[in-house]
Structure 1
């Protein structure tokens, strides 16, 4: 089953297999086999209510974070997976290691005329958002 789930995820992320006439139907059984990161990437691409129900069933995020994800918004204290659910994978990840610890900067630049968005993480949680 994990192989099937991986193949479906690869189809979504690499080949863009969903079209207007052919759409992959995600079942609750399929959703149960996904890792949290896989579920978030699939949710970002499909906005699947089945995936959101599985996220809720697992207790992955608070109700306020699920609301932000459904609205494609990011806020301080969200986890990396919650940001992936809301905005997808970043275009670039910059890591800084200093005496204070490790921080990450996720860069989102979705189109040539869009402003770049920067999300800063410490200990896996959003600490700042810059646009």
Structure 2
């Protein structure tokens, strides 16, 4: 192949420059800007997609650690159990599913040791995720708390709710005021105070 001399090289360079100038004059500037924007946008989207993929992988590991820390510290047991079940259903990695299954049963063990009736009631709804031995203990403890709960009274209850738990009082002292009716119910050594049929105070 014959080598180009300096004159021919100069002519070709000039021709190439002229073509570039003509294209810049002919093509609308907006088209060039749009193409640049498309390329830049595609690059940003690709980078964000990679970042999100990495974040998701980190997220499941961080969540498992957070759940484990909360259960070990015996705090947020209900929330931790619910989150572990949710992640268990969504997770496809067998290793992570096994970790979450372990955490579910660990949370149930801690809940069974508590005396929180409502927390146990919440845990019972996840019985399909709990090992049989753990579920048996939870059911027994829940039954015990259910019996205790049936006789427990709380501020905010109505007089009828109190009667269902404690029966009829030994005595009732009633006071009628401009704002309504106040009552003092006497149960042996306990005194219950009602304002307009709502329990507002308990005195030993």
Q: TM-score, normalised by structure 2?
A: 0.27
Which structure has more RCO (C-alpha within 8 Å, separation ≥ 6)?
Answer: 1
Q: Which has the higher strand share?
A: 1
Whose helix fraction is larger, Structure 1's or Structure 2's? 2
TM-score, normalised via structure 1 length = 0.41
